Amino acid sequence: MSPFPPPVAPAGVPAPAFPASEATGHHPTDGPGQAELLAFVRRAAADTSLVAGLPLDPEGRTWLRLDGPGGSEAWLIGWPPGTGTGWHDHGGSYGAFATAAGSLREDALAHHLPAGGEPGTTLRIPEGADRARQLGPDQGRAFGPHHVHQVLNTATHDHAVSVHAYYPPLPLMRRYSRSGQALRLEHIERPEDWQ
Ligand SMILES: [Fe+2]
d(CA 9, CA 63): 7
Q: What is the CATH number of the domain that holds 107?
A: 2.60.120.10
Instruction: List residues forming the annotated binding site.
Output: 88, 90, 149
Q: Is residue 150 part of a domain?
A: yes
Q: Lowest mean pLDDT of 26-40, 83-97, 108-122, 148-162, name the range.
A: 26-40
pLDDT tens, 7-32?
333 333 333 334 333 333 344 458 99
Q: Is residue 161 part of a domain?
A: yes
pLDDT tens, 93-106?
999 999 999 999 99
In angstroms, what is the span from residue 4 Cα to ligand 1's centroid? 6
Q: Is residue 121 part of a domain?
A: no
Cβ within 8 Å of residue 6, ≥6 positions away: 60, 61, 63, 194
Q: Looking at the chain, how many residues does it have? A: 195
Q: Is residue 81 part of a domain?
A: yes
pLDDT-derived band at 193 (thresholds 50, 70, 90) equals: confident
In angstroms, what is the span from residue 177 Cα to ligand 1's centroid? 14
Residue 167 has pLDDT above 90, yes or no: yes
pLDDT tens, 140-166?
999 999 999 999 999 999 999 999 999
Please give the mean pLDDT across all residues of the chain: 88
Domain count, the chain: 1
Q: Is residue 181 part of a domain?
A: no
In angstroms, what is the span from residue 122 Cα to ligand 1's centroid? 19
pTM equals 0.85
Instruction: List residues forming the annotated binding site for Fe cation.
Output: 88, 90, 149
The end-to-end CA distance of the chain, in Å, is: 13
Question: The domain containing residue 139 runs over which residues?
Answer: 34-112+129-173
Q: Is residue 64 part of a domain?
A: yes
Residue 126 has a CB neighbour count (10 Å cut-off) of 11
